[in-house]
Chain A
Amino acid sequence: MTPQRIAAKFLVEPDPAAAVALEPVIGLFHRFIQEQSLPGLLLDVADYAHVPDGPGVVLIGHDVDYGIDLSDGQAGLLVVRKRFAGQAFGEVLRDTLGRALTAAQAIGQESDLGLRFASDALTLHFFDRLVTPNSDEAFESVRGEVEPVAECLYGAASYEISRVRSEDRRKALSLSIRGSGEIAPPSALIERLSA
Chain B
Amino acid sequence: MSHASWKQTLEGRIDPGWAEEIDHFEGQLELRRQGKIEEKVFAETRLRRGVYGQRYDNGKRHDGVAERPLAFEEKPTKGPDTLWDAPGMQRIKIPFGGVSPEQLEVLAELAEDYSDNILHVTTRQDFQLHFVHIEDTPDLMRRLAAVDITTREACGNSVRNVTACPRAGVCRGEAFDVSPYAHALMRFLLGHPDVQDFGRKFKPAFSGCEHEACGLVQMHDGGYVARMRDGKRGFKVVVGGGLGPVPHQAQVLSEFTPEEELLPQMQAVCRVFARLGEKRNRGRARIKFLVAKLGIEEFRRLVEEERVTLPHDDRWTAFLDDMPHTSGEAVLEPGPLGDAGRSPGFEAWHRSNVYAQRQEGYAMATVHLPLGDMTSDQARSLADIARRFAGENLRTTVDQNVVIRFVPDAELPALYEALCAVGLGAPGAGTIADVVTCPGTDTCKLGIAASRGLGSEMIRRLQAKAGTLPEAVEALSIKASGCFNSCGQHHISDIGFYGNSRKIDGRTVPHFQVILGGQRQENGGSYGLAVGSVPSKAVPLAIEALTGAFAEGREPDESFQAWSARLGKRSMRELIKPLMSVGPYAEEPEFYSDWSDVREFTIGDLGVGECAGEVVSLFGIEVVKAEAQAFDAQIALDDGDAGGAESLAYAAMLSAARALVRTEFIDVTEQPEDVVAEFRTRFFENERFFDKYAKGKFGAYLLERHANPDTTVDDALAARRIEEAQLFIEAAHACEARMTAEAAEVPA
CB atoms of A168 and B1 under 8 A apart: no
Report how far A30 CA is from B65 CA in the complex, Å.
11
**Which residues A128-184 have CB closer than 8 A to chain B?**
128-133, 138, 141-142, 168, 170-172
B367-375, B525-533, B645-653 - the one binding chain A: B367-375
Report yes or no: B9 in contact with A130, Cβ–Cβ below 8 A.
yes
Which residues of A (49-84) have their CB < 8 Å from a CB of B? 49-55, 58, 60, 62, 65, 71-72, 82-83
Partner-contacting stretch, out of A9-17, A38-46, A93-101, A107-115: A38-46
B375 and A49 contact, CB distance less than 8 A: no
What is the bound-complex CA distance between A128 and B211, given in angstroms? 47
Closest to B55 in A: A44
Alpha-carbon distance A54/B371, docked complex (angstroms): 13
A44: B residues at CB distance < 8 A: 55-56, 61
Pair A53/B71 contact, Cβ less than 8 Å: no
- Find out whether the CB atom of B118 lies under 8 angstroms from the CB atom of A170: no
A62 with B72: in contact, given A168-B380, A171-B380 (CB under 8 Å)? yes
Q: A43-B56, A60-B116, A172-B112 are in contact. List 11 more A-B contacts (CB 8 A).
A: A43-B70, A44-B61, A48-B373, A54-B373, A62-B70, A127-B113, A130-B4, A141-B1, A170-B105, A170-B380, A171-B377
B71 A30 Cβ-Cβ under 8 A: no
Contact yes or no, A47 B456, CB < 8 A = yes
Q: Which residue in chain A gives the minimum CB-CB distance to B595?
A: A47
- Are A55 and B63 in contact (CB-based, < 8 A)? no
Q: CB distance A60 to B87 under 8 Å? A: yes
Give chain B's interface residues, CB within 8 Å of chain A.
1-6, 9, 55-56, 61, 63-65, 70-72, 85, 87, 105, 108-109, 112-114, 116-118, 130-131, 133, 136, 370-371, 373-375, 377-378, 380, 422-424, 426, 442, 452-453, 456, 459-460, 596-599
Q: Does A86 sit within 8 A of B, measured CB to CB?
A: no
Decide if A51 touches B442 in the complex (CB within 8 Å).
no
Is A60 in contact with B131, judged by CB distance below 8 angstroms?
yes
How far, in angstroms, from A71 to B376 measured CA to CA in the complex? 10
Asked if B63 and A30 make an inter-chain contact with CB atoms under 8 angstroms apart, the answer reads yes
Closest partner residue, chain A, to B10 (CB atom): A130
Q: Once bound together, how far apart are the Cα atoms of A58 and B221, in whole Å?
A: 37
Within 8 A of B (CB), among A19-45: 26-27, 30, 33-34, 41, 43-45
Of A33, A46, A51, A133, the contact of B370 (CB 8 Å cutoff): A51
Q: Decide if B597 touches A26 in the complex (CB within 8 Å).
A: yes
Count: A-B pairs, CB below 8 Å: 113
Q: For residue A86, give the distance in angstroms from its CB to the closest CB of chain B.
A: 13
> Does B373 lie within 8 Å of A50, measured CB to CB?
yes
Check A33/B118 contact, CB under 8 A, given A26-B598, A168-B380.
Answer: no
* Option from A33, A52, A65, A131 in Cβ contact (under 8 Å) with B116: A65
Compute how far the CA of A47 lies from the CA of B453 in the bound complex, rounded to whole angstroms: 8
Do the beta carbons of A54 and B380 come within 8 Å of each other? no
Taking CB as reference atom, which chain A residue is nearest B369? A51
A41 touches which of B65, B70, B370, B442 (Cβ 8 Å): B70
A58 touches which one: B116, B133, B378, B452 (CB < 8 A)?
A: B116
A91 shortest CB reach to chain B, Å: 16
6 closest Cβ pairs, A-B complex:
A52-B423, A27-B598, A50-B370, A47-B596, A50-B456, A34-B63
Please list 15 pairs of residues, one from A and one from B, whose beta carbons are closer than 8 Å in the complex, sorted by A's number: A30-B599, A34-B65, A41-B72, A43-B61, A44-B56, A49-B456, A53-B423, A55-B116, A55-B117, A60-B116, A60-B131, A62-B70, A65-B116, A72-B377, A130-B2
Identify which of A1, A34, A170 contacts B108 (C-beta below 8 A).
Answer: A170
Count of A interface residues, CB-CB < 8 Å: 44
Residue A5 is within 8 A (CB to CB) of chain B in the complex:
yes
A4 within 8 A of B: yes
| A71 contact set on B, CB distance < 8 A | 117, 375, 377
A43 CB contacts on chain B under 8 angstroms: 56, 61, 70, 87
Nearest CB on A from B87, distance (A)? 7
Are A132 and B1 touching (Cβ within 8 A)?
yes
Judging by beta carbons under 8 Å apart, are B85 and A62 in contact? yes
Closest to A129 in B: B109
A142 cross-chain contacts in B, Cβ below 8 A = 1
Contacts of A131 in B (CB 8 A): 1-2
Cα distance, A110 to B112, chains bound together (Å) = 29
Residues in B whose Cβ lies below 8 Å from that of A47 = 442, 452-453, 456, 596
CA distance A45 to B109 in the complex (A): 22
Closest Cβ–Cβ distance, residue A142 to chain B (whole Å): 8
Q: For residue A51, which residues in chain B have a CB less than 8 angstroms away from its CB?
A: 118, 370, 373-375, 423
Are A30 and B598 CB-contacts (below 8 A) given A41-B72, A44-B56?
yes
A35 (CB) vs chain B CBs: closest residue:
B63
For residue B273, give the distance in angstroms from its CB to the closest CB of chain A: 37
- Cβ distance A191 to chain B, nearest Cβ, rounded Å: 27
User: How long is the Cα–Cα vector from A161 to B71 in the complex, in angstroms?
Assistant: 38
What is the CA–CA distance of A127 and B110 in the complex, to the nearest angstrom?
9
**Which A residues are CB-close (under 8 A) to B380?**
168, 170-171
Q: Chain A residues with Cβ under 8 A from B61's Cβ?
A: 43-44
Distance in Å: Cβ of B416 to nearest Cβ of chain A: 15
Q: How far is the CB of B537 from chain A (nearest CB, A)?
A: 14
Chain A residue contacts of B442, Cβ below 8 A: 46-47
CA of A46 to CA of B378, assembled, Å = 19
Separation of A67 and B4 alpha carbons in the complex (Å):
31
Give complex CA distance A45, B55 in Å. 12
Minimum Cβ distance to chain A for residue B678 (Å): 41
User: How far is the CB of A181 from the nearest CB of chain B, in Å?
Assistant: 32
Q: Are B1 and A1 in contact (CB under 8 A)?
A: yes
State in angstroms the CA–CA spacing of A129 and B106 once bound together: 10
Closest residue of chain B to A89, judged by CB?
B1
The residue of chain B having its C-beta at the shortest distance from the C-beta of A55 within the complex is: B117
Given A26-B596, A51-B373, A34-B113 contact (CB < 8 Å) = no
Which chain B positions have C-beta within 8 A of A83? Answer: 133
A131 CA to B109 CA, complexed, in Å: 13
User: How far, in whole Å, are A168 and B72 apart by their CA atoms in the complex?
Assistant: 38
Are the CB atoms of B118 and A48 closer together than 8 Å? yes
Q: Taking the nearest CB of chain B, how far is it from the CB of A104, in angstroms? A: 20
Residues of A within 8 A of B131 (CB): 46, 60, 65
Cα A62 to Cα B377 in complex, Å, equals: 24
| Cα–Cα, bound, A34→B64 (Å) | 8
| Cα(A53)–Cα(B452), bound, Å | 18
Instruction: Contact check, B6 vs A130: say whether CB atoms are below 8 A apart.
Output: yes
Chain A: minimal CB distance from B462 (Å): 12
Q: Within 8 Å CB of A129, what residues of B?
A: 109, 113
Smallest beta-carbon distance B502→chain A, Å: 23
When chains A and B are docked, how far (Å) is the Cα of A138 from the Cα of B65?
A: 47
Residues of A contacting B378 with CB < 8 Å? 53
